[in-house]
Amino acid sequence: AQKITQTQPGMFVQEKEAVTLDCTYDTSDQSYGLFWYKQPSSGEMIFLIYQGSYDEQNATEGRYSLNFQKARKSANLVISASQLGDSAMYFCAMREGDTNAGKSTFGDGTTLTVKP
Amino acid sequence: NAGVTQTPKFQVLKTGQSMTLQCAQDMNHNSMYWYRQDPGMGLRLIYYSASEGTTDKGEVPNGYNVSRLNKREFSLRLESAAPSQTSVYFCASSEARSGPTDTQYFGPGTRLTVL
Half-sphere exposure of B2 (CA within 13 A, CB side): 10
Q: Which residues pair with A39 in a beta bridge?
A: A89
Interface residues of chain A, partner chain B, Cβ below 8 Å: 4, 31-33, 35, 37, 43-47, 50, 52-53, 91, 93, 95-104, 106-109
Chain-chain contact of A106 with B106 (C-beta, under 8 angstroms): no
Scanning every residue of chain A, which has its alpha carbon at the shortest distance from the alpha carbon of B52?
Answer: A101
Alpha-carbon distance A99 to A87, whole Å?
34
Q: Collapsing DSSP states into helix, strand and coil, what is residue B114?
A: strand
Distances (CA, A) of B58 to A58, A98, A100, B33, B52: 30, 18, 15, 9, 17
Strands B87-94 and B74-78: unpaired
Average pLDDT over residues A97-113: 79
Chain-chain contact of B100 with A91 (C-beta, under 8 angstroms): no
pLDDT in tens, A31-58: 888 999 999 999 899 999 999 888 889 9
Distances (CA, A) of A1 to A4, A76, A91, A93: 9, 20, 18, 15
Alpha-carbon distance B29 to B24, whole Å?
10
Contacts 24+ apart (CB under 8 A), B26-29: B26/B1, B26/B2, B26/B72, B27/B1, B27/B3, B27/B93, B27/B95, B27/B105, B28/B71, B29/B93, B29/B94, B29/B95, B29/B96, B29/B105
Nearest to B99 among A31, A35, A103 (CB): A31
For residue B40, how many other CB atoms are within 10 A of its CB?
Answer: 10
Distance from CA of A67 to the nearest CA of B (A): 17
Scanning every residue of chain A, which has its alpha carbon at the shortest distance from the alpha carbon of B110?
Answer: A43
Asked if residues B91 and B107 have their Cβ atoms less than 8 Å apart, the reply is yes
Cα dihedral across residues B61, B63, B69, B72: positive or negative: negative
pLDDT tens digits, chain B, 115 residues: what are they?
679 999 999 999 999 999 999 999 999 999 899 999 998 788 999 999 988 888 999 889 999 999 998 999 999 999 999 999 999 999 999 887 666 677 889 999 999 999 9
Please check the confidence at residue A104 and state whether its pLDDT lies above 70.
yes
Continuous segment of H or E residues that includes residue B74: strand B74-78
A81 — pLDDT class (breaks 50, 70, 90): very high
Nearest partner of B95 among A70, A109, A50, judged by Cα: A50
What is the model's pLDDT at position A75? 97
Please check the confidence at residue A65 and state whether its pLDDT lies above 70.
yes
